[in-house]
A and B are shown apart, each in its own frame.
Chain A
Amino acid sequence: MDSRRGSRFVIDPKIRQVGFVPAGCESENPNASSAVAAIANVDVNPTSDSPSPVMIPPRLADPLPRAAPLPVPSPPPRKHTSVEIPLQGSYNPTDSVLGTSPPFSPASNGRYAGVPSSEGPDLSPSFVSRASSAMEGMSLREDHLGSPSASRFATVGEYAMFKQQQPQQPATAVTKVYASSLPQEPVQSFAPVGKEDSSKPLKERTTKAERRAKQEADREAKRIAKESAGAKVVEGEARASSNVVGKASRAQSQKKDSASEKRLSAVEKASEKEKKKEIPAPRMQFDDQSRVAKAKKRALIEQTETKHRVELFRHLPQFVYGAQLPSLEAKFFHDDAMHPHPAVYQVGLQYLTGDITGGNARCIAMLSAFKELIKDYCTPRERTLIRDLTARVNNNVSFLTTCRPLCISMGNAIRFLKTRIAKLQLTLSESDAKSLIIAEIDRFMQEKINYADNEITKLAVTKIKDGDVILTYGSSCVVETIILHAFSLGKKFRVVIVDSRPKLEGKGLLRRLLGRGISCTYSHINAVTYIIQEVNKVFLGASSILSNGTVYSRVGSASVAMVANAFHVPVMICCETYKFHERVQLDSICFNELGDPDALVKIPGRKGLSELEGWSQSSHLKLLNLMYDVMPADYVSMIITELGMVPPTSVPVILREYRKDPILENFATFGKDSNPIKFFRASLEYYRAC
């Protein structure tokens, strides 16, 4: 330990600032040279092992989840490999491939600042290359902080990469290492590249950019080696000591290496795949002729394009509304592989006719239908369940899409279902697999929708006080439950329901609320500037919340939020986290859904007003029935999710931390004995406490 202590000042907070001094100062600093030496040491033959296919155990057990419900200034989310809630006692670290670390106290923030690459001596099983031992040696000197977290820099290559991304810093190895101790974004941004490196033997597919990045990294590494060779002369025993320790620890860790390497690389590969998946696939653009033609071939039925296409929305499907119904009916009696399951068929038609609307209702209906589908499913001969079932689900999903474009929450649910199917163990019997999947679907509906709604209601109710006037727009089932719950708690408030054509969904909400005895004011969207003046809170639902914090919801919500914002009324969005999506969107044009234009023609209750009868005769007149719009994040005061009340800027944090569906995942990991709900609740409380 003494030797380490000798070099402790490397990460001593005071000296750490050296990282920002110009290159000239570096030579005076013995720490600096020691660190350089450490690198130099390793790169004795830089040419041979510069690609350094070294795997570092991925960062683990981040205290980050706690940052999720917190507002903006959260620490930069790091390399996402596994999200772990440092709560569960049942979790046995040794079981994990990834290793673990104890939950960090809030004080361990220092880790962000102080430990650039802290390879715990006890956990560096993956060190196989000499290149990495340099980092190891350094980090050994640094681990006095007691944060045995995984290295920020997996390899020298990565490290060099990092250096490259910081051209404004003086180009010395020392400063780079110091700089690395700062929580800077580039650290995340190049982390995957390093991984790419390491998994290369397994996976040859690297993109051009990645190859190039690697090349540059190598070059950088060489340069550092040269530089440090010069520095080597200057430094003395610090190098020796660090070297010794480094070697010792390497020897120690080397034993584990061979065993863990394979597993790790597999994990890495998987996590990389996951990473790829995280980037949302580009949407189908309907003005792309070739893709449309392809899609047509696959399509269940032929859909006729409307003659009165709104040019601005060429990229969206603009079919004659309801025209698919007869062909769908005809299709029903066809019995082929493409044929949708009756339950799915029914749900699809209900979407088409508008009997089921609303994100949650549609999602639940779809999942229930899929449950039926899976119940009735039996694997054909010479097929595997996993593949065939996935294909079957895909078919049914495309059927649902022809009925009505999926909403984002449904897309998330489908994605969930597919990953569940894909993750099924091949050894499972068919009936076991089926019941497992059905159980998973049930759990999804329970936890992600029902339980989340309860949780949101509980949170949102605290925002309603006696004498409030609450405005809501359209009809959102979450907002409705919130209002009903607040009313049942005996709170005295008034509800303003703002509605808009053509759906007039607010009328249904009005009827239900009046039936419960809640005072209501009803108005149309144009009067919102009038009515907002007596309102003091706005509650809105959402179809989805996108990664940049924009709220994708029923058309008109953005206007309501804008007006509320202009009149300084807080806008609260109630949305379950399963509706969050990684996509980003700036306007309502690039992605949207178009409703039936004919719905605009008739005005209910105004028989005399039929100006637009026969509008289709005019080639110049188009009717646009937009279904959704995008509310900029700055109109949103807070988003109420089951994980707490967060600002819109925290959406990407939640997405990042929960992308892997930690609750279900961890439940799976931690054994079937623990109660998922209990577990969920505990984690919730934990997050809220933070």
Chain B
Amino acid sequence: MARAMPELQLAISDFLLKLQRRQIEGSFDSAKHTVLLLRQVIVQHRASHSGQASSFIDAVKTVGARLVAASPIELAVGNVVRRVLHIIREEEVSIANNTEDEGETTFDSDDNNNSDDDGLPVLSAAVLAAANRNVLRAPSLHNLLESAVIPAVAIVSSSSAGDSEERSRSSEKNSKGWKLKHSIIEGINELLEDINNNHAQIAEQALEHIHQNEVILTLGHSRTLLQFLREAKKKRSFEVFVAEGAPRYLGHTLAKELAALNLQTTLITDSAVFAMMSRVDMVIIGAHAVMANGGVIAPTGLHMVALAARRHAVPFVVLAGMYKLCPLYPHNPYVLVNEMKSLSQILEHEESMEYIDAALNVPDLLAMNPSFDYIPPELVSLFITDMGGHNPSYIYRLVAEYYSPEDHSLE
């Protein structure tokens, strides 16, 4: 396989390297790159004829596992890999159903009892797989509708299985394989579009949440947030407090961008968040990732902001595209879903050398510079996603909607 697709391997290793070196950072960029890469994987993948879908799944899983391992903190990578796997599984099922439907419509559209003889064994296998999956999958409205179709199909297939023949099977399979691949790629393109459009879709809801003269507090920088506020600014005028967000100080960038939008912007220090919170109407932040329990992985400092918001009974709103939704439950997220950044971000080099000199007799001078905070779900008032607003308690449901449970572990 490696011989067959050198350019793909090149792309993968390039992306891996970038992830490892943290040259690609942020959930949006990494998610987008991952989708593009996985699409490439699908496009270039020559599936064996037997078990098309599973071979796609295997291929995506192997690449996905490597990507996730390269930067475990970029949860969006893993999310997107799982989304792609889910797409493959969905497409597999829908192709199976479609074939059934097609058979019904083309051959004997009037009579449901007479169905296509060809490909029935494959069909029944797919149907069974789908049925199995439905057992595994948590119930959802979508699944319920799906499963309403499946029994009928299953009955039909079993009844007509007896007189099935093996003619023109390979050609049929080829066309089906092509169809599957095609629809998977289509699904991935949709996903890509979703990711690209998620800012806009979240921003569309801005006017429902921001009123005139509102005072909004945020920390650090978030593209989603910027667009959200930009959209709201078109109709309303309000004020924004931006905490600078040490150690990256991206708040400076956001403050400048917001001021350029003619929004009343006040840059405050991170330490002043508690002091200012008493005059704030809403806290809006962009998340790094949303865990399945509704907890949020966000840039460091936001847990403090969330606590201050709760203290002052200020709504704490998290903007998150669906690709940030992670199907995993956090376990010790402060340690396991975190990353220590360089000491130089908080202590200047000369300074730290001086300290180390001073501390020669003390072996331990530690400088803690974690990059993420975990905000427990009880501190979050609302998630605004591209699929609408949700309570933290509802997130697990969304997870069931977008991910297949068998993909939660990529190994």
Q: Which residues of A contact B (CB under 8 A)?
A: 310, 312, 494, 499-502, 507, 510-511, 514-515, 517-531, 533, 554-556, 558-559, 562-563, 566, 587-589, 592, 600, 603-606, 609, 611-612, 615, 618, 620-626, 628-630, 632
Residues on the B chain within 8 Å of A522, using CB: 346-347, 365-368
Most buried by B among A527, A556, A611, A632: A527
Given contacts A530-B338, A559-B273, contact A519 B362 (CB under 8 A): yes
In the assembled complex, the Cα of A554 lies from the Cα of B274 at a distance in Å of 12
Is B266 engaged at the interface, CB distance under 8 Å to the other chain?
yes
Min CB gap B375→A, angstroms: 9
Min CB gap A299→B, angstroms: 28
Min CB gap B19→A, angstroms: 23
- Could you tell me if A559 and B269 are in contact, using CB atoms closer than 8 angstroms? no
Residues on the B chain within 8 Å of A518, using CB: 362
In the assembled complex, the Cα of A611 lies from the Cα of B303 at a distance in Å of 25
**Nearest A-chain residue to B351, judged by Cβ:** A507
User: What string of 1s and 0s marks CB contacts (under 8 Å) between B355-368 and chain A?
Assistant: 10011011011111
Interface residues of B in 175-226 (CB under 8 A from A): 219
- Could you tell me if A620 and B265 are in contact, using CB atoms closer than 8 angstroms? yes
- Could you tell me if B269 and A501 are in contact, using CB atoms closer than 8 angstroms? yes
**Nearest B-chain residue to A615, judged by Cβ:** B256
Is B75 engaged at the interface, CB distance under 8 Å to the other chain?
no
Q: Which residues of B contact A (CB under 8 A)?
A: 219, 241, 244-247, 249, 252-253, 255-256, 258-260, 262-276, 278-279, 299-301, 303-304, 307-308, 311, 334, 338, 344, 346-349, 351, 354-355, 358-359, 361-362, 364-370, 373
Residues on the A chain within 8 Å of B255, using CB: 611-612, 621
Instruction: Give the top 6 A-B pairs by smallest Cβ distance, nearest first.
Output: A556-B271, A526-B301, A588-B275, A605-B348, A621-B259, A611-B252
- Could you tell me if B246 and A612 are in contact, using CB atoms closer than 8 angstroms? no
Known: A517-B362, A520-B366, A615-B267. 10 other contacts (CB 8 A): A507-B351, A519-B364, A520-B362, A522-B346, A559-B270, A559-B308, A624-B276, A626-B269, A626-B272, A629-B274
In the assembled complex, the Cα of A458 lies from the Cα of B355 at a distance in Å of 29
In the assembled complex, the Cα of A526 lies from the Cα of B249 at a distance in Å of 11
In the assembled complex, the Cα of A494 lies from the Cα of B349 at a distance in Å of 23
Most buried by B among A310, A507, A523, A530: A530
- Could you tell me if A514 and B355 are in contact, using CB atoms closer than 8 angstroms? yes
- Could you tell me if A624 and B268 are in contact, using CB atoms closer than 8 angstroms? yes
Residues on the A chain within 8 Å of B278, using CB: 587-589
- Could you tell me if B307 and A566 are in contact, using CB atoms closer than 8 angstroms? yes
- Could you tell me if B262 and A620 are in contact, using CB atoms closer than 8 angstroms? yes
Q: Which of A502, A515, A523, A615 contacts B367 (CB 8 A)?
A: A523
Residues on the A chain within 8 Å of B358, using CB: 511, 514-515
Majority-rule SS of B interface residues: mixed
Given contacts A620-B265, A621-B259, contact A559 B362 (CB under 8 A): no
- Could you tell me if B368 and A531 are in contact, using CB atoms closer than 8 angstroms? yes
> What are 30 residue pairs bridging A and B, where the CB atoms are less than 8 Å apart in the complex?
A494-B364, A500-B246, A500-B269, A500-B270, A510-B355, A517-B359, A520-B365, A522-B366, A525-B270, A525-B301, A526-B304, A528-B304, A529-B300, A530-B370, A556-B269, A556-B272, A559-B270, A559-B304, A562-B311, A587-B279, A588-B274, A589-B278, A600-B269, A605-B344, A606-B249, A611-B256, A621-B256, A624-B269, A626-B268, A630-B275
- Could you tell me if B256 and A559 are in contact, using CB atoms closer than 8 angstroms? no
Most buried by A among B347, B349, B373: B347
Residues on the B chain within 8 Å of A521, using CB: 365-368
- Could you tell me if A524 and B304 are in contact, using CB atoms closer than 8 angstroms? no
Q: Which of A511, A530, A592, A606 contacts B368 (CB 8 A)?
A: A530
In the assembled complex, the Cα of A618 lies from the Cα of B257 at a distance in Å of 11
Residues on the B chain within 8 Å of A620, using CB: 258-259, 262-265
Residues on the B chain within 8 Å of A559, using CB: 270-271, 273-274, 304, 308
Most buried by B among A494, A524, A625, A629: A524
In the assembled complex, the Cα of A520 lies from the Cα of B358 at a distance in Å of 12
In the assembled complex, the Cα of A237 lies from the Cα of B163 at a distance in Å of 124
Residues on the B chain within 8 Å of A622, using CB: 264-267
**Nearest A-chain residue to B254, judged by Cβ:** A611
- Could you tell me if A562 and B308 are in contact, using CB atoms closer than 8 angstroms? yes
Min CB gap B80→A, angstroms: 27
Min CB gap A74→B, angstroms: 28
In the assembled complex, the Cα of A522 lies from the Cα of B361 at a distance in Å of 17
Residues on the B chain within 8 Å of A625, using CB: 269
**Nearest B-chain residue to A610, judged by Cβ:** B252
Min CB gap B259→A, angstroms: 4
Most buried by B among A494, A526, A531: A526
Min CB gap B139→A, angstroms: 37
Given contacts A511-B358, A592-B275, A620-B259, contact A525 B304 (CB under 8 A): yes
- Could you tell me if B267 and A624 are in contact, using CB atoms closer than 8 angstroms? yes
Residues on the A chain within 8 Å of B361, using CB: 517
Q: Which of B247, B259, B299, B311 contacts A618 (CB 8 A)?
A: B259
In the assembled complex, the Cα of A148 lies from the Cα of B279 at a distance in Å of 53
Q: Which of A514, A523, A621, A623 contacts B346 (CB 8 A)?
A: A523
- Could you tell me if A310 and B267 are in contact, using CB atoms closer than 8 angstroms? no
In the assembled complex, the Cα of A313 lies from the Cα of B198 at a distance in Å of 38
Min CB gap A677→B, angstroms: 36
Given contacts A558-B275, A611-B253, A620-B265, contact A501 B246 (CB under 8 A): yes
- Could you tell me if A524 and B362 are in contact, using CB atoms closer than 8 angstroms? no
Residues on the B chain within 8 Å of A606, using CB: 249
In the assembled complex, the Cα of A612 lies from the Cα of B257 at a distance in Å of 10
In the assembled complex, the Cα of A689 lies from the Cα of B399 at a distance in Å of 62
Given contacts A519-B364, A526-B301, contact A618 B260 (CB under 8 A): yes
In the assembled complex, the Cα of A489 lies from the Cα of B165 at a distance in Å of 91
Residues on the B chain within 8 Å of A530, using CB: 300, 334, 338, 368, 370, 373
- Could you tell me if B267 and A563 are in contact, using CB atoms closer than 8 angstroms? no
Residues on the A chain within 8 Å of B256, using CB: 611-612, 615, 618, 621
- Could you tell me if B304 and A603 are in contact, using CB atoms closer than 8 angstroms? no
Residues on the A chain within 8 Å of B368, using CB: 521-523, 527, 530-531
In the assembled complex, the Cα of A600 lies from the Cα of B346 at a distance in Å of 15
In the assembled complex, the Cα of A670 lies from the Cα of B362 at a distance in Å of 52
- Could you tell me if B259 and A587 are in contact, using CB atoms closer than 8 angstroms? no
Residues on the B chain within 8 Å of A515, using CB: 358
**Nearest B-chain residue to A565, judged by Cβ:** B307
Q: Which of A502, A520, A527 contacts B369 (CB 8 A)?
A: A527
Residues on the B chain within 8 Å of A615, using CB: 256, 259, 267
Min CB gap B215→A, angstroms: 9
- Could you tell me if A524 and B369 are in contact, using CB atoms closer than 8 angstroms? yes
Residues on the A chain within 8 Å of B304, using CB: 525-526, 528-529, 559, 562-563
- Could you tell me if A529 and B271 are in contact, using CB atoms closer than 8 angstroms? no
- Could you tell me if A555 and B367 are in contact, using CB atoms closer than 8 angstroms? no
Q: Which of A519, A525, A628 contacts B246 (CB 8 A)?
A: A525
**Nearest A-chain residue to B312, judged by Cβ:** A587
- Could you tell me if B265 and A621 are in contact, using CB atoms closer than 8 angstroms? yes
Residues on the B chain within 8 Å of A621, using CB: 255-256, 259, 265-267
Residues on the B chain within 8 Å of A630, using CB: 275
Residues on the A chain within 8 Å of B264, using CB: 620, 622
In the assembled complex, the Cα of A522 lies from the Cα of B352 at a distance in Å of 11
In the assembled complex, the Cα of A454 lies from the Cα of B270 at a distance in Å of 33
Residues on the B chain within 8 Å of A511, using CB: 354-355, 358
Min CB gap B222→A, angstroms: 15
Min CB gap B189→A, angstroms: 36
Q: Which of A500, A514, A611, A623 contacts B365 (CB 8 A)?
A: A514
Given contacts A562-B304, A625-B269, contact A526 B349 (CB under 8 A): no
Residues on the A chain within 8 Å of B265, using CB: 620-622
Most buried by A among B247, B262, B266: B266
- Could you tell me if B266 and A624 are in contact, using CB atoms closer than 8 angstroms? yes
**Nearest B-chain residue to A522, judged by Cβ:** B367
Residues on the B chain within 8 Å of A494, using CB: 364
In the assembled complex, the Cα of A380 lies from the Cα of B325 at a distance in Å of 79
**Nearest B-chain residue to A524, judged by Cβ:** B246
In the assembled complex, the Cα of A357 lies from the Cα of B267 at a distance in Å of 24
